[in-house]
Amino acid sequence: MARPKKQGLDYFPFDVNFFSDKKIKIVKARYGNDGVIIYLYLLCEIYKNGYYIVWDDDYKFIVADELNISDGLIEQVLKFLIERSLLQSILLNSDTIITSPSVQHRFQEIVKTRKAPTSVLKELWLLSKEETQGCIKVTQKQGFSEINPGFSEKNPSKSEINAIKESKEKESKEKESKEKESKEKKNNMSTCVDARNAFDYQSVVNSFNSICVSLPKVQKLTDDRKKKIKSLQHLLGDITIDDYFKRVENSDFLTGRTGNWNGCTFDWILKPANLTKIIEGNYDSKQQQTSRTASYDIEELEKINTLDYLDL
């Protein structure tokens, strides 16, 4: 039996207005850059196979490992993409198929340059007869493996997935071992509590809840919050985490005491752009600004007075 012709693509067109699309903006707003990366990764996987992929827990495991993103977040993003019609889910013979009309429109635009028509499975082809171009040959339902040889045992094959899983698990254990050893060395070389708190997520949350009493308390420690907490100490520089939370709590504007705004939250003050404004004093109350002005070092003031005297 002749081997079926290649169906996957080597490339696909990318719209320069991709990030201006309202749906993409919503994905980014809800799930951050990880949400957009997951969507782009899935598109690449779909076009690599052709115009769809077969989705299961094994595939999810591979994506999570490749992107270093939790499988829980990947499930959330995929569900959201389907709800927003960026992707579509089809159930065929107990297999979950991921594709979309827009994916298939782009697919047929690429394959029309091929000499022979490209076969697609009728049950998976979402475009109408009028939308389907002559380069596409819609076939009746056949054996799944005949039309998609690479997916005869789900993409990729089970044996390949197990091999990848074992390899990734081994790499992950080795990486964890090296990271653990590195952390132990750092802890032995430094007694700085704040350095440890950079990775002690719950301790940071507890500090926030106890210091920023005017703001909503953190109830759940999500993966996204862990990432932001992990980079918090680096962004703060010489400022301790507790001092940063105290500055937020002392701000009449951020705590809503001015009555002008009450949207400040734990997640809001962890955003790098907002953090920079806070530590630069953009939201300080008048009392905080006066306190900073009065805290000049005496020697610095004497130098200023001396220079003024010399100028005279």
Q: What is the pLDDT of residues 70-110, one digit of tens each?
A: 999 999 999 999 999 999 999 887 889 999 999 999 999 88
Tell me the residue type at 210. S
pLDDT given for residue 99 in this prediction: 95
Q: What is the pLDDT of residue 196?
A: 45
32 — alpha (psi -120 to 50), left (phi > 0) or beta? left
According to the model, what pLDDT value does residue 160 have? 57
148: nearest Cα among 64, 62, 46? 46
Q: What is the mean pLDDT of residues 237-258?
A: 90
Tokens of 276: 């920079």
CA distances from 148 to 39, 105, 154, 196, 302 (A): 23, 19, 9, 51, 81
d(CA 102, CA 88) in angstroms, rounded, equals 10
Condensed to tens digits (0 to 9), the pLDDT of residues 138-196 reads 987 654 543 444 443 445 555 555 665 676 677 777 777 777 777 776 665 554 444 44
Pick the residue with more confidence: 273 or 310? 273
At 301 the pLDDT is 42
Strand order, beta sheet including 88-92? 53-55, 95-99, 88-92
Q: In angstroms, rounded to a whole number, what is the distance separating the alpha carbons of residues 144 and 256?
A: 60
| The pLDDT of residue 161 | 55
Q: What is the mean pLDDT of residues 253-276?
A: 90
pLDDT at 150: 41
Mean predicted confidence (pLDDT) in 294-304:
45
28-72: per-residue pLDDT in tens?
Answer: 999 999 999 999 999 999 999 999 999 999 999 999 999 999 999
Dist. CA 280–CA 99, nearest whole Å: 47
pLDDT at 284 over 80: yes
**Confidence tier at 289 by pLDDT (50, 70, 90):** low
Q: What's the pLDDT at 219?
A: 92
Q: Under a CB-based contact definition with an 8 Å cutoff, are residues 285 and 250 in contact? A: yes
Give the span between the Cα atoms of 102 and 14, in whole angstroms: 12
Residue pLDDT, tens place only, 193-239: 444 444 688 999 999 999 999 999 999 999 999 988 888 878 888 88
- Return the pLDDT at 309: 36
> Could you check whether the bond before residue 216 is cis, i.e. omega within 30 degrees of 0?
no
